[in-house]
Structure 1
């Protein structure tokens, strides 16, 4: 049931986006008659849609690109509530926490379809291939976070590829760490990743990047790198891959393209 529901949600969202005059905040809201938009402090919540009072609430204290994706996500809630057939099918197929989980997934699907239309991702993949540069361009042109963009790009890539966002983060010292590691307390790690269909391995958030890996070298030099290398799994296993790294300020956007069909499970 989930696959057909995703397809229907994409159709609803794409139709909604095509009717808009633009994709700025005002234009995004223009397709919802009588719905108002309010920004306010919401603690840990990013946003909410109140169908009774016809209002979308957005957390005023999160980053602008996160607010933008949240707005599109809440528009997804409004679109879903307006499709009686889809809503009925969901309630017939799911219940309880699983129903809520599926609804949130579908609203993320809607947000991606609104802000990152297939025509845009197709253009970028044709021009740049499944690369860190394509990921950077999608993030910039759709005005969304890289974490949001990787899932959409992975879903629409035909290649066997894993996309990742890596950055220097603070880490907790563990038994056995060297004195230097205890003192530094920071490491270049995977912040988020997503694999295309057919890739059965994944990179867990927090996976460290070795100092001599092209991802680390690109961050240090600020120069994009494309070369044959490997995927540095947390287990220590190195899977051969073509690595495309695009450094951007204090992070790197990466694609790991596999030369073969990988087996199942995370390493």
Structure 2
């Protein structure tokens, strides 16, 4: 039976829409795979640098530990949770300075980049990481296992103080993790601490980026569909606000959604995390290539 002209037109339009959608899906898969291959093939060009060291800092509850877990989940292709994290906490869950490696393949085979988590920034004197400890960590003076003391920074006579840091001990990229839904709630003191740490990193020539988490909680449009992340005027305004407050350029700020309630990995979530990770790695690689021996 022949289709009517109107039905033929409808079928033609439907087929064209399906073709466009298929091309978009293919492009996204290709884009994600390209970024994933970049990360998997990355290796520092300098023989004296075994790995990039990425230091995370930011407010309490921003998702620093969750970001580490999310990166590992993307690279492992399954949900992981080695870095201890806690939901809905008003004080930092991270108490110690620890280096996190991500297994690449065989046992003892790791990706050539590591993450260092830190205690969250808090304004009360008896809580939160001491900014001085982050500055010492940037220079490679803090050893794994050091318990953060909000009242005072690590002293040079402490056995967790590394007096002679190597290139591998020093931080190569500083990443500020900030919750997108709390940007407008940042106080002047919050911003001052971040800018103070950023200034120290700048003096050392260390590249700085920002990762905005909880984007689904910052904008209903994104919560409805993560693909709307770059269509959201709400999120863009929050990114611009944070850029103005702290001074990090817009093209160095990456919106992500950490894995928090999912039981399986998701391509859209993966793609945003990989975009941030790729830029973090390339910035660190540029830095170590300019470092003096």
| TM bucket, shorter chain | under 0.3
Normalization by structure 2: what TM-score?
0.23
Higher relative contact order (CA 8 A, sep 6+): 2
Higher strand share: 1
